[in-house]
Amino acid sequence: MKYSTLFGKTTKSAPHDAQSTNARLLTQAGFINQLMAGVYTYLPLGLRVLKKIQDIVRGEMNALGAQEIYMPALHPKDIYDTTGRWDKIDVLFKLEGHGEKEYALGSTHEEVVTPLVQQYIRSYKDLPMAVYQIQDKFRNEPRAKSGLLRGREFSMKDLYSFHTSEEDFLQFYERAKQAYLNVFRRCGLDAMIVEAGGGVFSKFSHEFQVATENGEDLVYRCACGFAQNREIAEVKAGDPCPSCQKGIIEEIKTIEVGNIFPLKTRFTDAFGFKVAGPNNEMMEVVMGCYGIGPSRVMGSIVEVHHDERGMIWPKQTAPFAVQLISLSSKDATLRENIEETCASLEKDLEASGVEVLWDDRDAGAGEKFADADLIGIPLRIVVSEKTLAEESVEWKERSETQSRFVKLADIIEEINEVTFLDRKTKTAHA
Amino acid sequence: MKYSTLFGKTTKSAPHDAQSTNARLLTQAGFINQLMAGVYTYLPLGLRVLKKIQDIVRGEMNALGAQEIYMPALHPKDIYDTTGRWDKIDVLFKLEGHGEKEYALGSTHEEVVTPLVQQYIRSYKDLPMAVYQIQDKFRNEPRAKSGLLRGREFSMKDLYSFHTSEEDFLQFYERAKQAYLNVFRRCGLDAMIVEAGGGVFSKFSHEFQVATENGEDLVYRCACGFAQNREIAEVKAGDPCPSCQKGIIEEIKTIEVGNIFPLKTRFTDAFGFKVAGPNNEMMEVVMGCYGIGPSRVMGSIVEVHHDERGMIWPKQTAPFAVQLISLSSKDATLRENIEETCASLEKDLEASGVEVLWDDRDAGAGEKFADADLIGIPLRIVVSEKTLAEESVEWKERSETQSRFVKLADIIEEINEVTFLDRKTKTAHA
């Protein structure tokens, strides 16, 4: 795609309340645009990233055997009356429709998914089963100042699992942990599993936390794998590790990128959801819920992967694999040659499954390089008078400082050898 | 995919207020589930259909040169104050956040897209340009009784185009018409372009209407292509056609599946959105908007394509291409043979890009055939004692009444010859 025609170019101005790195860089690079605090439009570059993250999440959920559904955001009040949460969820947006009917905007979907599954699942033979959705959630946050990390409207993947026993639930819970670690690894995030409190439902839950100096959470952890969040931590920095007895606890700043909860029978009991057992006795249904916010993951990637010049996208989440830059010449013939070389390169790269953003603007090298660094596409390929004289391009990885010349004739081969670029793959209707 | 493990099986009970064919059939077949009037969950089968329709729309919008973005559903009040529509849009859901801030839920996005585009587009050289999104809209409908045809929450594709002249706008408007006709054709809908009123913005607009006996709209049309909707019709049934002077006007019941509007400078004026012209003079920006509701299209397909036994999905929108049915045997060896034949068929078909739903349940032929007819997948392939004795399967198209035997060895070849099935194709991140 030609950068000259892309909607959402780079801009020098950051949002006036952009206190967070992710909001500032994503805005300046033309990925997102703030409509109001905590509420953003995804511009073409940002939407490409968001969809890639959603597709990674979708793939791992499908591999887990969960089935994708899509539940509404608009909820009737009565389902919250059943669980007693109408006044307990403090971030619930409430509104009124015709006939004084009261609605809430979904901040979570236990009240919808539990009676939904109850309508179709009648026997222990149908369990375990799990459904998930990727959908927008709404939260009436008093403060929303962390860019994509804490929004009033945000993308969420919520998975719900249903089981006839605690043992079966725990087995699935461990598999879900692995699926979550896969998601974060594919998104370029090194997530750790952290023990957290269970809230009103359970004794424990787990968070997935990513270390970063701008993190708003604190985690106490040991090299052995022991990690507790601030709320439940029984240790402090410098303490001996209560788990391995050998290591020393360190305190690190983190961002939470996912969490998983045992819900026991909190919601199935409220809706009277039981299934028929082997001897036709009624069995309790044990439930778990598992959340990842794709938009929050997007913000977290930026918090972790950036430098003073801009973002550095991990390969599977980059909006494009290659940023092609043509530097114009004063000589008309050379100018045409540069143009044609770029057009042909773009075609060849796209044909071999490499997505290309071509900065074809009539602008100087300084501006184009600065914009490429800000946007953070993994590989920059420059075509100019100088490179053409060598029948080459200048090849520079965003994460490296050095560039090198690569012969035009060798580019496709070189591209096929690198491991830091993502390729378009067949995606089925999942 | 095995039907035994699919979430959302067929059910005999229709929603108690299902007055519409689409709500009844989609619910009974396990495609959707009503949470409340006008608000539905998409179960796995329904979500597959919805995504296919959204992908068709996305493909045609991209081909038109429009760029995909994703705007928020939560809107601040001030943007409606600017256009004076806060109290004029009667279906606007309104809600309150912290600090007595007032929000609306998007029923349309002119108030968001206009100032958004204004931030990035400064020069006449950047026009024309068009952006679209596929996103959920909310409407506080007093009555919502037509299933997916009129929802309180529904999927919408809204496209907005920006131009420096009326002529340029009209050129794009005609191209958008063709893109819309492509969308409906690919969805198996024979849509006609109907003249409609322009509301407060313009003298005219156009609707895309599909003839069906359950339609809630009325259109007056002639075979020559002349067609007007009920609101603006200057003719009645039996009148001579005012356009061709030869034909006779007929009155037909229809469903509206899309509409396109000239907005002139109604919104760009309100936001003071002008661009710099060739001589640095400020130029007005002319705007158009173009809507298709993928969920409404899904409901319309069912209204048009069904019989007394169930739905009949057009190929590009079918949840699966083939419904494979194994009929069990009392003989253990035969039973195993049937099972193995189906497993191998499913594998071969999927490998050649044909999506298969395999009804592997321990149920009788009557129940399985009735469910297959209700679900409406284009091709039914049955494997039983009887067919295996002939080294064959029973092959029946949903739209036909006759079935025939096809040799197991010939199935892939036969499949490759049929034109009524859709194949998985490479889909890129758009």
Residue A42, amino acid: Y
Q: What is the pLDDT of residue B201?
A: 60
Q: Nearest chain B Cα to A46, which residue?
A: B69
CATH number of A320-417: 3.40.50.800
Q: How would you classify the pairing of strands B274-276 and B102-105?
A: unpaired
Q: What is the distance between the alpha carbons of residues A7 and B70, in angstroms, rounded to a whole number?
A: 12
Alpha carbon separation from B65 to A7, A366, B58, B108, B201 (Å, rounded): 11, 29, 11, 21, 25
- Burial (CB < 10 A; 0-12, 13-18, 19+), residue B414, is middle
- Tell me, yes or no, if B122 comes closer than 8 A to chain A by beta carbon: no
Q: From the list B40, B70, B74, which residue is nearest A152 (CB)?
A: B74
- Note the ipTM here: 0.96
Entry field: residues in chain B:
430
Q: From the list B74, B129, B138, which residue is nearest A39 (CB)?
A: B74
- Ramachandran angles phi, psi of B91, nearest 5°: -95, 15
Q: What is the pLDDT of residue A430?
A: 35
* B428–A9 C-beta distance less than 8 A: no
Local confidence pLDDT in tens for the 430 residues of chain A: 999 999 999 998 776 666 799 999 999 999 999 999 999 999 999 999 999 999 999 999 999 999 999 999 999 999 999 999 999 999 999 999 998 899 999 999 999 999 999 999 999 999 999 999 999 999 999 988 899 999 999 999 999 999 999 999 999 999 999 999 999 999 999 999 999 987 656 678 999 999 999 898 999 999 999 999 999 999 999 999 999 999 999 999 999 999 999 999 999 999 999 999 999 999 999 999 999 999 999 999 999 999 999 999 999 999 999 999 999 899 999 999 999 999 999 999 999 999 999 999 999 999 999 999 999 999 999 999 999 999 999 999 999 999 999 999 999 999 988 877 777 654 433 3
Q: What is the distance between the alpha carbons of residues B311 and B46, in angstroms, rounded to a whole number?
A: 12
Q: Which residues of A touch B138 (CB under 8 A)?
A: 73-74
Count of pairs with CB atoms under 8 A, one residue in A, one in B: 149
Q: What is the DSSP string of B179-240?
A: HHHHHHHHTT--EEEEEEE-TTT-SEEEEEEEE-TT-SEEEEE-TTS-EEETTT----TTSB
Return the percentage of chain A with pLDDT > 70, whole number: 97
Residue among B36, B49, B82, B132 with most chain A CBs within 10 A, to mutate: B36
Structure-block tokens of residue B379:
């091709």
Counts of helices then strands in chain B (DSSP H, E): 11, 23
Q: What is the distance between the alpha carbons of residues A426 and B355, in angstroms, rounded to a whole number?
A: 14
Buried b (16+ CB within 10 A) or exposed e, B232-262: ebebeeebebebeeebebebbebbbbbbbbb
Q: From the list B36, B41, B119, which residue is nearest A33 (CB)?
A: B119
User: Please, which residues have CB within 8 angstroms of residue A170's CB and are 6 or more apart in sequence?
Assistant: none
Q: Nearest chain B Cα to A109, which residue?
A: B41
Q: What is the distance between the alpha carbons of residues A48 and A320, in angstroms, rounded to a whole number?
A: 8
Q: What is the distance between the alpha carbons of residues B321 and B378, in angstroms, rounded to a whole number?
A: 6
Alpha carbon separation from B109 to B83, B138, B315, B403 (Å, rounded): 12, 11, 32, 49
How many angstroms separate the most distant Cα atoms in chain A?
87
Structure-block tokens of residue A241:
């590790």
Structure-block tokens of residue A259:
């969490």
> Which B residues 42-101 touch A at CB under 8 Å?
42-44, 47-48, 50-52, 55, 67-76, 93-95, 97-98
* A138–B136 C-beta distance less than 8 A: no
Q: What is the distance between the alpha carbons of residues B196 and A258, in angstroms, rounded to a whole number?
A: 49
Structure-block tokens of residue B259:
């509409």
Under the banding of pLDDT at 50, 70 and 90, the label for residue B202 is: low
Q: Tell me whether the CATH fold assigned to A3-307 matches the one assigned to A320-417.
A: no
* Cα A162–Cα A163–Cα A167 angle in degrees, nearest 5: 135
Under the banding of pLDDT at 50, 70 and 90, the label for residue B336 is: very high
* A142–B98 C-beta distance less than 8 A: yes
Nearest alpha-carbon partner for A149 in A269, A26, A63, A237 = A26
Q: What is the pLDDT of residues A177-187, one digit of tens each?
A: 999 999 999 99
Q: Are the CB atoms for A268 and A287 separated by under 8 Å?
A: yes
Alpha-carbon distance A396 to nearest alpha carbon in chain B (angstroms): 24
User: Please, which residues have CB within 8 angstroms of residue A403's CB and are 6 or more apart in sequence?
Assistant: A380, A382, A394, A395, A396
Q: Are the CB atoms for B156 and B50 separated by under 8 Å?
A: no
Nearest alpha-carbon partner for B338 in A201, B330, B304 = B330
Q: What is the pLDDT of residue B30?
A: 98
Name the CATH topology of B3-307: BirA Bifunctional Protein; domain 2 (3.30.930)
**What Rg value do the Cα atoms of chain B yield, rounded?**
25
SS3 A163: strand
Alpha carbon separation from B334 to A41, A118, B106, B330, B338 (Å, rounded): 58, 36, 58, 8, 6
Q: Which residues of A touch B4 (CB under 8 A)?
A: none
Nearest alpha-carbon partner for B242 in B302, B195, B294 = B195
* Cα B205–Cα B206–Cα B209 angle in degrees, nearest 5: 150
* A35–B44 C-beta distance less than 8 A: no
Q: What is the distance between the alpha carbons of residues B129 and B160, in angstroms, rounded to a whole number?
A: 9
Q: Nearest chain A Cα to B141, which residue?
A: A98
Q: What is the distance between the alpha carbons of residues B222 and A227, in angstroms, rounded to a whole number?
A: 74
Alpha-carbon distance B252 to nearest alpha carbon in chain A (angstroms): 32
Alpha-carbon distance A402 to nearest alpha carbon in chain B (angstroms): 30
Q: What is the pLDDT of residues B135-161, one digit of tens each?
A: 999 999 998 889 999 999 999 999 999
Q: Could you tell me the residue ranges of all domains in chain B?
A: 3-307, 320-417
Q: What is the DSSP string of B290-334?
A: EEE-HHHHHHHHHHHSEETTEE---GGG-S-SEEEEEPP-SSHHH
Q: What is the pLDDT of residue A429?
A: 38
Q: How would you classify the pairing of strands B392-397 and B379-383?
A: antiparallel
Q: What is the pLDDT of residue A426?
A: 41
Q: Omega before B44 cis (within 30°)?
A: no
Distance between alpha carbon A107 and the CA centroid of its chain, in Å?
Answer: 18
- Tell me, yes or no, if A41 comes closer than 8 A to chain B by beta carbon: yes
Q: What is the distance between the alpha carbons of residues B179 and B62, in angstroms, rounded to a whole number?
A: 10
Q: What is the pLDDT of residue B55?
A: 98
Structure pTM? 0.96
Q: From the list B76, B97, B355, which residue is nearest A140 (CB)?
A: B97
Alpha-carbon distance B40 to nearest alpha carbon in chain A (angstroms): 6
Return the percentage of chain B with pLDDT > 70, whole number: 97
Q: What is the distance between the alpha carbons of residues B261 and B253, in angstroms, rounded to a whole number?
A: 22
Q: What is the pLDDT of residues B255-272, one digit of tens each?
A: 999 999 999 999 999 999
Q: From the list A67, A129, A153, which residue is nearest B72 (CB)?
A: A153
Q: What is the DSSP string of A242-311?
A: TTTSSSB-EEEEEEEEEEEEEEETHHHHHTT-EEE-TTS-EEE-EEEEEEE-HHHHHHHHHHHSEETTEE
